[in-house]
Amino acid sequence: MIVALGLLWCQAKAQTIADSTSKGKVMVFKDNRLEELSKKEAAFNDAAAVLSGKTGKGFRLMILNTDDRPLAMKVRAQLLQRFPEQKVYMSFQPPFIKLKFGNFLTKQDAEKYKKDIVKYKIVTGNIYFLPEIIETKPDKNKEEMVN
């Protein structure tokens, strides 16, 4: 028992090592141009993110939820032909195909398109507003900054 305690004490003593890294100084020499370059790169990345399309809160229209693929493709084609300025989002969640339409910042913007879709009889069923994260259009002022 005494031998075991002696071995444990020796092992515990052997593991206490002095920290040799706490002494001394580290000097960093940097080029000031690196900071200027990083600022320019950050500004460029911000402007590029705006051009590529940012996301924000908005609305889409739920146009169709069906298991009829030919119908979904027909409605999608009609929406793209009638409203080329808007995007149509098609997703498949078995066994249904869902068609979502547009990127609208407000419900009033979406309401205009909803009325047109009903007027042109593209869809005969109900159309719902969906609050979603949408793609926003780039700002013209930021576009000029990149150029």
10-residue stretch averages of pLDDT, the chain, 147 residues long: 60 55 74 81 70 80 95 96 95 94 95 95 93 78 47
Dig out the tokens for 15 from the structure: 């593991």
Tell me, what amino acid is at 73? M
Q: Are 128 and 98 in contact (CB under 8 A)?
A: no
Q: pTM of the prediction?
A: 0.58
Listed residue (79, 81, 51, 63) closest to 145, CA to CA = 51
